Structures are given as structure tokens and as C-alpha cells.
Amino acid sequence: MEQNRKPLIAGNWKMFKTCSEAADTAEKLVKLTAGVNDREVLIAPTFTALSDVRNVIKGSHVLLGGQNLFWENEGAYTGEISGQMLVSAGCSHVIIGHSERRQYFFETDETVNKKIKAAIQSKLIPIFCIGESEKERESKNTFSVLDKQVSKGLKDFSSDDVKELVIAYEPVWAIGTGKTATSAQAQEAHLFIRSLIEKKFGKMLAKSLRILYGGSVKQNNIAELMSMPDVDGALVGGASLDAETYAKIVHF
């Protein structure tokens, strides 16, 4: 973690929690992480719980994010949610291209690109997820996969467009499996991603870009991961669902 990049700890609640459960967890989290100002804390509940969570975190340091969005502002797109809708629900961030969306909902680098564009247009900060599968790692294709995901996902953007972008490196084999990447593996991937950003958008942006690690982040591995120079935060799934557990990660 570099001193000039404020760490971001983001909780991805996936398809868990009813409205009242989400509000209850968020309320506890606000209390348990009160006073934290050297890092940013975010939660991304389901769409249905956004408004209840917003009510309990209002005025606090906890930030709100969506887990997905559609690239049109409005229209006949049954079941979809737009960037401006997320903003109106109190979101400042949105997760885009999570591997579960790529795997189960057939998102591609091209649709991810459109979604990042839509997020930027709505003034949402995209948390752009990339990462290789186990097979890709074993066949030594990690870097080429990351290269492709970054170049296609960020196609046709200027450095100004992506100045607030956050990237989450989430090796698919580490998500929800309890198999965390070692801090050395995370650092190697993060450094590579930063070098891709430098080639594409220049040194200044590469230096300020925050790259989060995601994949079985827990209380017992967060400090080690965060000690790496290019790890600027975490995207936490399972371990963010319980306020006490998540707060311990936030306080790493």
C-alpha cells in the first residue's frame, strides 16, 4: 500500500440479506468502524436493500455501491438498473464485471466496457473486476488474460475518463473458495496491472490508481496482503456479511 493511495475496503454482499438484515448489518458497521478516516469503507448490498441501507449510513463515513448496472439510462429493459438510478439511490460506486456476472450472466469484456462507460457518465466510480481462472493460471496465461481484460474493458477511454477508476484483481480460483492468493501472487498481478495502466494511460494515472485484491480475504490475511506496495485495498465477499468480522478487516 502506497501512502498517497487511500486504501478502500469494499464489501460485496452479493445476493444475501433482506432489506432489514442489510440495514441492521450496515448500522452495526457504522458504529464498529466509527472514526476510521485513513481508509474508505464501502458496502454493496443488493438493489432492493440500497434505500434501507442508505437511511442508516447517511451522514456516516460508510460509502454505498451497486453490484451491477445496465448501460442505458432508461428504457424498456425489464429487470435492469441504470447508473442514474444507482446515483439516486445514494451510490457513489458500482462493481462492474465481477467474475460471477461473467460466468453466470454471460458478461463479456465488451459489455463490461459499455458498463464502465455508463458508470463514468453517471459519475459513479467503477470498481472494475478482472482475474484469471484456475485453468488460465495453471497454463501460465494469467498475464495475457489480465492484459486482454484491461485492454478490452478500458477500450476507448482517455486518462481523464478513468481518473477515479478502481480495479479489483480477483483471481476466480480464490473467490469463495478459501484459497487466497499469496501476498506475493497478488503483488505480482497488481504490479503487472499497474504497468498495463501506465502503458495505456501514463505514469500519473498508474501511480494514483487503486488496485484492490479480492478472493477469500479474511481477518487473518488482510494485513499481509495490505503490506504489499501495490495492494491498495480489498473487495471482500463472504467475510463482509457479518458486521463484526467485516469491521475487523476494515481495521486490519
**Of 58-66, 142-150, 183-191, 231-239, which part binds ligand PGA (CB under 6 A)?**
231-239
Q: How far is the CB of 158 from ligand PGA (least distance, A)?
A: 28
Q: How far is the CB of 75 from ligand PGA (least distance, A)?
A: 29
Q: Catalytic: which of 107, 132, 136, 170?
A: 170
**Of 20-28, 53-61, 112-120, 169-177, which part binds ligand PGA (CB under 6 A)?**
169-177
Quick check: is 198 catalytic?
A: no
Q: Which secondary structure element, helix H or strand E, spans residue 43, and what is its range?
A: strand 40-44
Angle of helix 19-32 relative to helix 50-57, nearest 10 degrees, comes to 30
Q: How far is the CB of 145 from ligand PGA (least distance, A)?
A: 17
Of 171 and 201, which CB lies nearer to ligand PGA in the complex structure? 171
Q: DSSP readout, 181-219?
A: PPHHHHHHHHHHHHHHHHHHH-HHHHHH-EEEEESS--T
| Cβ-proximal residues to 79 (8 Å cutoff; 6+ apart), any chain | none
- Of residues 1, 7, 145, 122, the one with CA closest to residue 73: 122
DSSP bridge pairs for 95: 127
Q: Does residue number 237 form part of the binding site for ligand PGA (CB under 6 A)?
A: yes
CA distance 76 to 202: 39
Q: Does residue number 43 form part of the binding site for ligand PGA (CB under 6 A)?
A: no
Q: Does residue number 131 form part of the binding site for ligand PGA (CB under 6 A)?
A: no
Q: How far is the CB of 171 from ligand PGA (least distance, A)?
A: 10
Q: Does residue number 217 form part of the binding site for ligand PGA (CB under 6 A)?
A: yes
Quick check: is 170 catalytic?
A: yes
Q: How far is the CB of 57 from ligand PGA (least distance, A)?
A: 20
- Of the residues 50, 62, 175, 211, which one makes contact with ligand PGA according to CB under 6 A: 175
Of 185 and 195, which CB lies nearer to ligand PGA in the complex structure? 185
Of 65 and 237, which CB lies nearer to ligand PGA in the complex structure? 237
Half-sphere exposure of 203 (CA within 13 A, CB side): 0
Distances (CA, A) of 82 to 75, 189, 234: 10, 31, 25
Q: Does residue number 233 form part of the binding site for ligand PGA (CB under 6 A)?
A: no
- Of the residues 33, 68, 216, 221, which one makes contact with ligand PGA according to CB under 6 A: 216
Q: Catalytic: which of 27, 98, 107, 136?
A: 98
Write the burial class of residue 106 (CB in 10 Å: 0-12 exposed, 13-18 middle, 19+ buried).
exposed
CA distance 240 to 218: 9
Task: Look at the block and give the residue holding cell 480464490.
Answer: 174
Which chain residues interact with ligand PGA by CB under 6 A?
12, 170, 175-176, 214-217, 235-239
Residues with catalytic roles:
98, 170
